[in-house]
Amino acid sequence: MTAPLRVGVAGLGTVGAGVVKLLRENAALIAGRAGRPIAVTAVSARERHRDRGVSLDGLRWHADAKALAAEPEVDVVVEVIGGAEGPARRLVEAAIAAGKPVVTANKALLATHGVEIARLAEAKGVPLAYEAAVAGGIPAIKALREGLAGNRISRVAGILNGTCNYILTEMRLRGLSFEAVLSEAQALGYAEADPSFDVDGVDAAHKLAILAALAFGRPVDLASLHIEGIRRVSALDISLAGEFGYRIKLLGIATRDEHGVSARVHPCMVPLASPIAAVEGVFNAVLAEGDAVGRVMLQGRGAGAGPTASAVVADLIDIARGRGAPVWGADALDDAPAVPMERHVGAYYLRLMVTDRPGVIADVTGILRDERISLESMLQRGRSPEEAVPVVLVTHDCEEAAMRQALARIEALDAVLEPPAVIRIEAL
């Protein structure tokens, strides 16, 4: 057996400590699959003496993560610090400049600076591996870059944030409000004290930007993504969705057609019969559609020490074996244009809270008619001239631009008492 692959780990939080632990606990199995031992020799973190549940005895310590790039006892750098800037970016760029392979779980860094970092890695001829950056332990990157390499991918989509999926699941099962479930998720450690990154769709958008770049062989383009979170999804909408045969999920969806590439993150209603509707709790799912293979879906835990460490170690095994691929799956990237959200075509769920009086429905449907939007079904709940009552409309396919114009006019009606709730319908 050849000399060990020596690893420097930057960041000793949940994931970093998990990587150290997994490499030790499964050392013999990993060595057999890698063709050589893989051992952590150096680490870096902000606090040296904190108990992380794993011994750091005998490991070289660096207060400055960037020092791992120059560490002679390190062959490959694992970056699990996080963040698009600061020490994470400095370390990754320094390691590549030093000719050392990099394994990262940093979706924000790749979504924001992936084009430049990939160019640096390719110019130096060193691997840049990032399986752990998307969907935790689900091998989504390997599936797209290797397993589906012979396919022309037309769509990649999925549940890419476990926090949002947990919140929507609990709201449905228990009939609770978004705020109530979010507080519980924070207490359980499923959501951060500041949950914006998750519940506003930013985390899912970073992951979708990476998946879209890989699926379509084009540069990462975070700026072109349409992003909405789940703050406005109500328990009432979740309940009504079930009556119409749907379940609400926060999805990231990227498609490619003759017009270019569209990428969007927002709440969706998916049919109950769809496999993705059954993905509950903190679980993630990634779906891809190829011209040869058809539809493929992977499901599993999208975060946590074990799943994410599993993905990091898989990349380390590839590096130890000398296996590699272009960062974005192709040597020459495509420059397909981004398709704006206004050109999206699909069906919509609208919920209006209106004053129950004659002529309201006629006014609303008249606006939809003017914008060439046809209805598939309508539901009105309750009768009360003194209180707002919900009216639910489900449309046939129409263009997003027309829907936005219709919504602006509907919201301006005196009888409409609050902004309409709008959720796009996706037949995944």
* Position 360 pLDDT exceeds 80: yes
Of 31, 36, 7, 1, nearest to 19 by C-alpha is 7
DSSP state of 201: S
* Position 1 pLDDT exceeds 70: no
Q: With b meaning 16 or more CB within 10 Å and e meaning fewer, what string describes 132-151? A: bbbbbbbbbbbbbbeebeeb
State the CATH number of the domain containing residue 98: 3.40.50.720
Measured CA to CA, the distance from residue 377 to residue 94 in angstroms comes to 58
Measured CA to CA, the distance from residue 92 to residue 112 in angstroms comes to 14
Q: Are residues 367 and 290 in the same domain?
A: no
Cβ–Cβ < 8 Å for 42, 60: yes
Which one-letter amino acid corresponds to residue 75? D
Mean predicted confidence (pLDDT) in 216-221: 88
Give domain status of residue 326, yes or no: no
Measured CA to CA, the distance from residue 417 to residue 422 in angstroms comes to 15
Cβ–Cβ < 8 Å for 216, 339: no
Q: How far is CA 366 from CA 285, 373, 423, in A?
A: 40, 10, 21
How many residues does the structure list for the chain? 428
Q: Are residues 126 and 158 in the same domain?
A: no
Question: Which tens digits make up the pLDDT trace of 107-118?
Answer: 999 999 999 999
Q: Are residues 154 and 296 in the same domain?
A: yes
* Tally of CA atoms within 13 A in the half-sphere of 220 that contains its CB: 23
Question: Catalytic amino acids?
Answer: 207
* Position 374 pLDDT exceeds 60: yes
Element (H, E) at 75: none
Q: Where among 86, 111, 133 does a domain terminate?
A: 133
- Alpha-helix residue ranges (DSSP H) falling in 71-148: 86-97, 107-124, 140-142
Give domain status of residue 338, yes or no: no
Q: Are residues 62 and 102 in the same domain?
A: yes
What is the overall mean pLDDT for the chain?
93
pTM of the model: 0.93
Please give the tally of structural domains in the chain.
3
Q: Where among 133, 168, 194 does a domain terminate?
A: 133
Percent residues over pLDDT 70 in the chain: 98
Question: Which tens digits make up the pLDDT trace of 233-257?
Answer: 999 999 999 999 999 999 999 999 9
The first and second tokens of residue 405, run together, are 């114009």
pLDDT given for residue 327 in this prediction: 85
Of 61, 81, 91, 82, nearest to 73 by C-alpha is 61
State the CATH number of the domain containing residue 360: 3.30.70.260
pLDDT given for residue 385 in this prediction: 63
Mean predicted confidence (pLDDT) in 204-208: 97
Q: Are residues 207 and 63 in the same domain?
A: no
Residue 188 three-state SS: helix
Question: Which tens digits make up the pLDDT trace of 54-84?
Answer: 888 889 999 999 999 999 999 999 999 999 9
Give the domain range for residue 32.
Answer: 5-133
